[in-house]
Amino acid sequence: MKVNGAGDRSARGRWARLLHARATARSAIAGTAAGIVILAASAVLASTGTADTTEEVRRVQTITQTMNKISVQINSEDAALRGYLATGGTEYRRAELVGKLGAARADLDWLQRTNAVDRAELDAIRGSYENYNRIVLDIMAHTDDGANVSGYTDLASLTFAPLRDSVLAIGDHHQQELSAYLTEVNRRADLLQVVAVATICVVLALFALCAWVLIGYQRRAERQAAQRLHEATHDSLTGLGNRAKLHHELDAAVRRGLPFSLLLIDLDRFKEVNDTLGHHAGDELLVEVAHRLGDDRRAGDVVVRLGGDEFALVLPAAPDQAQQAGHRILDALRRPISLNDLLVDIDASIGVASYPGDGHDAEQLLQHADVAMYDAKRRHGGVAAYDPALDTGDTSRLSLQSELRQGIGRGELVVYYQPKIDVASRRPCGAEALVRWQHPTRGLLGPDAFIPPAEESGLIDLVTADVLNQALAQLGRWAALGHELPVSVNIPARSLTDEAFPGVITDALARHRVPPRLLTLEITESAVVTDMERAGEVLRRLRERGVNISIDDFGTGYSSIAHLRDMPPHELKIDRSFVMKMSEDTRDETIVRAIVDLAKNLRLRVVAEGVENEDALRALGDLGCDEAQGYHISRPLPAAELTAWLDRSGMAITAG
Ligand code: C2E
Ligand code: MG
Ligand code: MG
C-alpha cells in the first residue's frame, strides 16, 4: 500500500510538473508570438513614419524654396525699381523694371494651386504683391516724363517692406513647423526604439524560457524513456536484467557468432522457503542469490532473473568452462543464508546449453537449457549439460505442467505404497503413499519428475487431494480385507498455511469413513517453522481431529528443536540419507542415534526410512527406533501388490 501510495504521489508530481511545464511553454510561445507581432508593428510604424517624414520634409522644402524664389524675385523687382528711380527713370532701367514686374506671380499661383500654404497668408501676400506692382506701375506712369521721382522712393519702400516681411515670415513659419514636426518625429522614433529594444529583450527572454522549458521537457522525456526501457528489461526486486534482457543478450551473442553458454539456474528449495518463511523471506533470499550470482560475474557475463526462483547466465565460455562456472555458482549458492534468524540451506539445479553446439538461436538455447536444468532437477540438483538423448521434445516444464493438469483429470496419478514395519516385532505397521504418474507416452514417472513443477504451478493441491482420496479409499479396501493399515500421505508445505486444509482432511476422512487415527500427514520439518502462527493453527486443528503428524526427512531441514516442544508432532521420520549409510559411516549413525534419543525424550515415535540392508535394520533395533521403511523391507508397490505382500507377511520379516 505504502509503495503504491508513494508511486501514486510521484506519478501525480510528475503529471503536475508536466502540466506546469506545458503551461509555461505555451505562455512563453504566446508571449514570443505577441512580441514578434509588436516588433513587426513597430517596424511597420517606423517605416510609414519615415515615409511620412520624407514627404513632409520634401513639402516644406518645396515651400521654402518657392518662398525663397519669391523673395529673390520681389527683391530683384525692388532692386530694379530702385535702380530705375536712382537713374531718374532712364529708358534702359525702365525696360529692366518692366521685365521684372509680376515675376513672382507664377510661383504664387503655384502655391495657391497646390494649397501648399495657408490660404489667408497667401491671400495677404498676394494682396501686398499686387498692391506693390500697382504702385510700381503708378511710379512708372508718373515718371515717364522725367519728373522728379524722389517722392516715390519712400512710397515704394513703404509698400515693399511689409511684402518682404510677409514672404520671409511664411518661410520662417514653415521652417519652424518643419523643425517642430521633426522634433515630434524624433520623439516618436525614440519611443519606438525603446519599445523595440524592450520587446526584443522580452522576446529574447521568452525565447530563452521557451528553449529552457523545451530542453527540460525533452530531457525529462529522454529520462522517462530510459527509465521505461530499464523497467522493461530489468527485474524490480533484484535489479538484474529480466527475460526480455536475456533474449536481447542472446540474440546479440548469436549475431556475434562467438561460442557462449547459457546457464539456467532454478533454486531447489525456494518454494519451501516462500511457503514456510513467508514472501518477505522469499524476496530476501532472491536478492541474496542475485548478489551471489553477481559476485561470481566476470567481464562479459550477463546475469538475469527470469522470474520466480529462476535465474540465467550468459557466459562467453565453451561447454566445459560453463560447467565449471556452474559448479562454482552451486558452491556459492549452497552457503547457508540467514533468513528470519534461521540459517537456510538452499540448493539449485543448473542446466547448460552452449552455442553453437546446442542451438542456433535464443529460443532453442533457452529450451535446451531448460531441458538440461530439468534433467539436473530430476537428479536432485547439480549441473547438467544439454543432452539431445534426454530431450524427448515434451520435457519442458510448461508443457509438463499443462500435461499434468490433464493427466490428473484423466486419473493418470497412481499411488504406490511402501510398507513400514515395527522394528521390534518386524510386523507391518503402516504404509506410505507415494505418488507416480502413469504418463501416456513416457511411462511411469517418479514424483521427482513432476512434484517440483507441480509445486511451482500450484497443481500440487490437486495432486495432494488426488493422493489423499486414493489412499483413503485404499485404506477402506484393506480394512474390508481385514488389514487395518495406517497410511501416511506426504503434504506440501503450502497446505500448512491454508486455513481450509483441516476441513479438506476432515471431509475426506468422513467421505471414506476412515478413523483419523489411521491417517498420518508427513510434512517436512521446515514447513513447520514458517509462518508459525498459521502453520501452528492448522497443525493444532488437525491434531484436535485426531490426525497424526509426522516430520519427514528429519535432520535435513532448518527447523529449530524448540518447535518440537511448542508444537509436538506424533512422529519423527529420519531422513533416508542418514539411514542408508549409517552402517558404513559412524557420523551418520551418530546422527540417527541422536534423532532417536531426541524422539524418545520428547516421547515421539521415530521412523527410519531408507533401510536398505539387514545391518541397518538391526542397528536401528539396537538404537530403539520404533519403525522402519526401506527397500530392504519392500520397495513402494502398487496397492494390489502390497495387499499380496501384506497377506504374505503376516509373519515377521527376516533377512533377505
Ligand atoms: P519421501 O516422503 O521422503 O519418500 C520416501 C522416498 O524414499 C520415496 O521416494 C521412496 O521410494 C524412497 N525410498 C524408500 N526406501 C528407500 C531405500 O531403502 N533406499 C532409497 N534409496 N530410497 C528409498 P519416491 O517415491 O521417489 O518419493 C520421493 C519424494 O517425493 C518423497 O520423499 C516425497 O517427498 C515426494 N512425494 C512422493 N509422493 C508424494 C505425494 O503424494 N505428495 C507430495 N507432496 N510429495 C510426494
Ligand atoms: Mg514421505
Ligand atoms: Mg522422507
Instruction: Confirm whether pTM is higher than 0.85.
Output: no
**pLDDT tens digits for range 388-426:** 877 665 556 666 777 898 899 899 999 999 999 999 999
Does residue 472 have a pLDDT over 60?
yes
**pLDDT tens digits for range 53-79:** 788 788 878 888 888 888 888 888 888
Residue nearest to atom 25 of ligand 1 (CA): 434
DSSP state of 410: T
For residue 569, the CA-to-ligand 3 centroid distance in Å is 15
347, 269 Cβ separation under 8 angstroms? yes
**pLDDT tens digits for range 275-304:** 777 888 899 999 999 999 988 777 788 999
pLDDT of residue 656: 31
Mean pLDDT of 556-577: 80
- According to DSSP, the residues that pair with 315 across neighbouring strands are 261
Nearest ligand 1 atom, CA 573: 3
Give 62-69's long-range contacts (Cβ < 8 A, gap of 24+).
62/116, 63/111, 63/116, 63/117, 63/170, 63/171, 63/174, 64/171, 64/174, 64/175, 66/107, 66/110, 66/111, 66/116, 67/167, 67/168, 67/170, 67/171, 67/174, 68/171, 69/104, 69/107
CA dist 141 to 89, 138, 158, 422, Å? Answer: 10, 5, 19, 177
40, 211 Cβ separation under 8 angstroms? no
Nearest ligand 1 atom, CA 524: 34
CATH number, domain 243-401, options 3.30.70.270, 3.40.50.1000, 1.10.10.10, 3.40.50.10470:
3.30.70.270
Rounded Cα–Cα distance for residues 125 and 94 (Å):
25
Does residue 35 have a pLDDT over 60?
yes
Does residue 496 have a pLDDT over 90?
no
Of 609, 633, 637, which is best to mutate to test ligand 1, by the most ligand atoms within 8 angstroms of its C-beta? 609
Average pLDDT, whole number, for the chain? 85
CA dist 194 to 48, 49, 190, 232, 589, Å? Answer: 18, 16, 6, 56, 104
Domains 13-212 and 243-401 share a fold: no
Domain locations along the chain: 13-212, 243-401, 412-648
CA 17 from centre of chain: 18
For 401, counting Cβ atoms within 10 Å of its Cβ (0-12 exposed, 13-18 middle, 19+ buried), the class is middle
For residue 590, the surrounding DSSP H or E stretch is: helix 586-601
**Polymer length in residues for the chain:** 656
Residues lining ligand 3 (ion), CB within 5 A? 552-553
Does residue 7 have a pLDDT over 60?
no
Residue nearest to atom 10 of ligand 1 (CA): 636
pLDDT of residue 11: 60
pLDDT of residue 346: 83
Q: When comparing pLDDT for 417 and 38, which is higher? A: 417
What proportion of the chain, given as a percentage, has pLDDT over 70?
92
* Set of cell numbers at residue 180: 517642430
For residue 29, the CA-to-ligand 2 centroid distance in Å is 76
Rounded Cα–Cα distance for residues 482 and 582 (Å):
36
For residue 524, the CA-to-ligand 2 centroid distance in Å is 8
Does residue 652 have a pLDDT over 50?
no
Does residue 331 have a pLDDT over 80?
yes
CATH classification (class only), 13-212 = mainly alpha
Residues lining ligand 1, CB < 6 A?
Answer: 418, 434-435, 446-448, 451, 463, 467, 490, 492, 522, 552-553, 576, 580, 609-612, 629-631, 636
Q: What is the DSSP string of 286-309?
A: HHHHHHHHHHT--TT-EEEEEETT
Nearest ligand 1 atom, CA 632: 18
E strands, 174-286, in order? 260-267
**pLDDT tens digits for range 596-644:** 999 999 999 999 999 999 999 999 999 999 999 999 999 999 999 999 9
* Set of cell numbers at residue 201: 529583450
For residue 323, the CA-to-ligand 3 centroid distance in Å is 30
Rounded Cα–Cα distance for residues 101 and 56 (Å):
32
For residue 504, the CA-to-ligand 1 centroid distance in Å is 23
Residue nearest to atom 21 of ligand 1 (CA): 610
For 442, counting Cβ atoms within 10 Å of its Cβ (0-12 exposed, 13-18 middle, 19+ buried), the class is middle
Of 576, 634, 642, 653, which is best to mutate to test ligand 1, by the most ligand atoms within 8 angstroms of its C-beta? 576
**pLDDT tens digits for range 84-131:** 877 777 778 888 888 888 888 888 888 888 877 788 888 888 888 888
The domain defined by 412-648 carries CATH number 3.20.20.450: yes
Rounded Cα–Cα distance for residues 332 and 269 (Å):
15
Residue nearest to atom 42 of ligand 1 (CA): 490
pLDDT band at 530 (very low <50, low <70, confident <90, very high): low
Name the closest ligand to CA 553: 3
Does residue 172 have a pLDDT over 80?
yes
385, 352 Cβ separation under 8 angstroms? yes
* Set of cell numbers at residue 40: 513587426
Give 9-18's long-range contacts (Cβ < 8 A, gap of 24+).
17/220, 18/217, 18/220
Rounded Cα–Cα distance for residues 411 and 16 (Å):
59
pLDDT of residue 120: 84
Neighbours of 61 (CB within 10 A): 13
**pLDDT tens digits for range 229-251:** 888 889 999 999 999 999 999 99
pLDDT of residue 60: 79
CA dist 382 to 266, 316, 375, 591, 645, Å? Answer: 10, 21, 9, 25, 37
